[in-house]
Chains A and B, each alone.
Chain A
Amino acid sequence: MEKEIIVNDLVVRFANVNGTGSASANEMFAKSIFRMGIPVTPKNIFPSNIQGLPTWYEVRISEKGHLGRRAGIDILVGVNPQSLKRDIESVSPGGYFVYDSSKKLHEEFIRADINYIGIPMIKLAMKHYPIPRLQQLLKNMIYVGAVATLIDLELDVLKGVIAEQFSAKPKIIPSNYQALELGINYVKENFKYPLNVRIKRCDNNGDSILIDGNTACGLGAIYAGATVMAWYPITPSTSVAKAFESYCKKLRIDEDGKKKYAFVQAEDELAAIGMVIGATWNGARAFTATSGPGVSLMNEFIGLSYFAEIPVVLINVQRGGPSTGMPTRTQQADLISSAYASHGDTKHVLLFPSSPAECFEFTINAFDLADRLQTLVMLISDLDLGMNNHMSPPLAWDDDKKYDLGKVFSAEDLEEMKEDFGRYLDVDGDAIPYRTIPGTHPTKGSFFTRGTSHDEYAKYSELGEVYLRNVDRLSQKWETAKTLVPEPEFYQKDNRSNIGLLFFGTTTYAAVEAMELFEEEGLMIDSIRVRAFPFHEQIGKFIEQHEQIIVVEQNRDAQFRTLLINELELNPSRLISVVNYDGMPITAQAIQSGIKEKLSLGIS
């Protein structure tokens, strides 16, 4: 029976051993498909070690532009003997298993309901290349060539991407091309191609870019004028620092060849955030990037920044917790610990980007908000958003935009002032005081910053009423924050359903797709994407307007739901929760079945 031909709707998964150079080969594969105008979502599923453990690279190809992960693997390229059994089991019925047939596949690995495509990868590599390391590297190109032919990927596009990738070392391009050809020819000579699952050029990518969120954050910090970055290495946030530094080297060198930035690898996360606080206190824009364990360490300083009102930008790229948890898997499980980080009554502004373009935009917002509100602002990203490439609108900057550096008195302001400078005086009625930067004026504007209770003039005080005035003003400042943070996004002009879907961050891709799945089944659902904490008033309204609200998030305890209940004083029964927390990005199918299950059972 002829198989149904499926075009531009497939998942290809590569099963590799990490440290074998497969990552860049797989990336070139994904980028080539992107260049053919077909939306792609690549995901790197990697272990927490450097060499020798299984790693997977999954590419979802979706003409409709569905960018979430999809369950079901159409083609699995299995070149890792360690994970062979599981890999074969993971192929969807009717799917394909592409493997290295240099050695015969054992009986136990044969499934009747899938197709086997054996390419003698290592044999071919050994025949053509003398050096073992080269055999290993070029074996990757052999399977890329083979799979490209099997799915009808345009080879010129692939070659173009390879040439770009190796533009710094053009000498190695011919050998890569040759390896590619070995794979291509082997398929052509031995199999019917293309397969029934295949791709075809289309024009659905517009001006999109394929970029990871961490690079976008690093670039955002440069565009926002950050001059000091202090950090301590931790997956999955390290590449924020890396991106900031590598672009600074290109974009932030002055006429004398000197750096218009300071990049400090601190001794730990405590020191990292301390350095940020010291730098912003002293009038520079500064930031740090870390993940859960780092934020836990930073807690004491986070409270200082809140109470002494010092701007801080913290990029929090979440990973699987608790403790060291699943350091190379994704979760949205540091919501409560971020929102209320540190001892005493504290709360912090959080921004939830859901695409690299928003990582860029919100990082810039974070600097403006931190300076405007004189407080800590956390950008809440996650491993999936931060480390995987995502198809995204281009990064955007408006040349007319001016940084909002907030309320800072200049020497002239101080000179003209008749009254005494009060660091914590609410002059404008928005609960945000004015600050001064050290060194501004010889005799006016100096003050003493402290984490102990202080009056309007920054003087130490243990009087109850002084303390209350201060912390109540901070509460009022929180109200001001609600009017300044990014508004939620709606996916319908007018409400059309009594069910509302609420989500944020990387859950967005799958949630939007789930909505479409429901729509295909004739069930309309309204949706809202939250983009910041504190919650904008529109969020409360949306919840009020719907009988049932489904909160989708990627942690066990439904932390976002808790935040909503707590901050908006909601009846918990109004919020149904659908969660995913196995460390893999959530899928539309999981959301769909989760909702169906909860709604039919009436669980709330």
Chain B
Amino acid sequence: MSYIKPTFHHPSLKPNKVGYLKKDYRGVISTLCAGCGHDSISGAIVQACYEISLEPHKLAKLSGIGCSSKTPTYFLSNSHGFNSVHGRMPSITTGANMANKDLIYLGISGDGDTASIGMGQFVHAIRRNLNMVYIVMNNGCYGLTKGQDSATADFGSVSKEGNANPYQAIDLAGLALELNATFVGRSFSGDKNQLVPMIKAAISHPGFAFLDVISPCVTFNNTKGSTKSYSHVRDHIEVTSSLDYVPFEEEITIDYPEGESAKVELFDGSKIHLSKLAPDWNPTDRFTAVNRLHDAKSKGQILTGLLYINPESKDLHSLMGTSDKPLNQIKQKDLCPGSTKLEEINNEFR
């Protein structure tokens, strides 16, 4: 149990643009194991929401079941939360989003929750380009049920019991790319400099924003042979690009040298700046991203960064043509056709 919450280097005491302090974005004390990667991701979510000046009640946080899915209690106490059933967070989020298009939906899941029991709902949320942020806290195991291998455990990765995994891993970021997800990023729970701006950009993205965050399970998966341990990830990480997220209203203060940076303008006018650590990284080119991902994998590397973004993304509401007013705010008089109309309908059946 960790009584000390992971904190960041620049805890801000000054209120943000909407008048909230960073503490207003916190949740209750975590009951996860001390050092669990999931807690760091919670910290990054708090930081991102604070920095982006999001009003907490305008976000709904939803999750499935697992250690990872418990984390929504550990951030954003002023937001409504929903810890649903194992693997089914995407459907709950879909319904919630259908009811009110004006909120931000943050879905938290685990690799078991997504890559096994919830695989069906995950891919269909991608297919519909549901406007949500979908974070998988990926530890390659089932933490809550005591460390069984998950479907994202790498081939040959050794669990705490000492067995090497004989099965091929499902690469969720690769899968999301394959399925034409409109925003795909990968990061590491320990890399807040990369993770925080990525979460901010994901929130701004009007569509399905997927973040696969490698998040070591210190209790069951931090062994030497595990490919999702802190040491393994630190040694094998390959970063595509470092990114900076700039909200629409903000002046761009840092100027990247020409030739080393790429700008992506998001739907709402905000911008993502990428400084190109990797040569010729273009996050709007899906094919390159797919290739690079395979490439890195064959070298035993974990490719992180914003892998792909489609700046022309149209979310499910746009695809369906629902009214501008959120459906949960339309009143009876505008929903019920009334008795005169019903009499006409009755006449169709006489």
Contacts and interface: CB of A to CB of B under 8 A. Distances in A.
Interface size classification for chain A: 35 or more
Given A274-B95, A274-B121, A282-B96, A259 B323 contact: yes
B13 interface: no
A207 B57 CA distance: 51
Interface in A101-149: none
Given A438-B103, A439-B103, A281 B83 contact: no
A281 B96 contact: yes
Nearest to A252: B335
B338 A284 contact: no
A279 B95 contact: yes
Contacts of A322: none
Nearest to B89: A274
A464 B279 CA distance: 60
Interface stretch (A79-87, A220-228, A495-503): A220-228
A283 B96 CA distance: 8
A551 to B, nearest CB: 33
B324 A267 contact: no
User: Which label, helix, strand, loop or mixed, suits the secondary structure of the B interface?
Assistant: helix
Interface in A372-405: 394-399, 402-403
A254 to B, nearest CB: 5
Contacts of A259: 320-323
B103 A271 contact: no
B1 interface: no
Contacts of A437: 80, 328
Contacts, number: 223
Interface string B152-181: 000000000000000000000000000000
Contacts of A258: 321-324
Contacts of A227: 98-99, 327-328, 330, 335
Contacts of B100: 282-284, 438-439
A438 B60 contact: yes
A277 interface: yes
Contact of B95 (A282, A397, A450): A282
Interface stretch (A68-76, A441-449, A594-602): A441-449
B100 to A, nearest CB: 5
Contacts of A224: 336
A387 B315 CA distance: 35
Interface in B119-154: 120-121, 124, 128
A297 B97 CA distance: 23
A286 interface: yes
A163 B57 CA distance: 57
Contact of B57 (A228, A280, A286, A446): A446
B339 A398 contact: yes
A267 B327 contact: no
Contacts of A450: 82-83
Interface in B259-282: none
B79 A210 contact: no
Interface of B: 55-58, 60, 62, 72-73, 77-85, 88, 90-100, 102-103, 120-121, 124, 128, 317, 320-325, 327-328, 330, 332, 334-339, 341-343, 345-346, 349-350
Interface of A: 35, 207-211, 219, 222-225, 227-228, 230, 247, 251-252, 254, 256-264, 266-268, 270-284, 286, 300-301, 304, 394-399, 402-403, 436-443, 446-452, 460
Given A208-B350, A210-B350, 15 more contacts: A207-B346, A207-B350, A209-B349, A228-B99, A251-B341, A261-B322, A267-B124, A277-B95, A278-B91, A283-B328, A438-B60, A446-B77, A448-B81, A449-B83, A452-B83
